[in-house]
Amino acid sequence: MEDMTYYMIQTNLRNIKNNIDYLLSVDPVKLDELLKNGHDWANDHITSSNDDIDEVYSFIKNNINSDEESNGPFIKTFESYITSK
C-alpha cells in the first residue's frame, strides 16, 4: 500500500474511525456536561468535519464502479442489493 500515492487516506480513515469509536463510547451525559462549559468549538469542528467526510464519501461512492463484475476493493452495500435489478 505504501507505493500508492494516496495511501495516507487509509491511515487517516483508520485514525478517524478509532477516534469516533472512542468518542461514541464516552458517557453522553458527561460529554454533554463537558461541552456545555464553554466548549461550543467542539460541536463546530465535528459539524465541519462531517461535512468534509460526506463530500469525500459522496465523491468516491459515485465514482467507483460497484457492480458485481468489479474486482475492486469496494464491497457492494446492502442498499445496492435492494436497489439493483
Chain centre to alpha carbon of residue 78 = 17
Angle at 21 between CA 27 and CA 81, to 5 degrees: 125
Q: To the nearest whole number, what is the mean pLDDT of the chain?
A: 84
Helix axes 28-36, 40-63, angle to 10 degrees: 120
**Three cell numbers, residue 34:** 463537558
Q: With a threshold of 0.85, does the pTM exceed it?
A: no
Per-residue confidence (pLDDT) for residue 69, from 0 to 100? 44
**Sign for the pseudo-dihedral over CA of 55, 66, 7, 22:** positive
Tens-place pLDDT, residues 1-29:
567 888 899 999 999 999 999 999 999 99
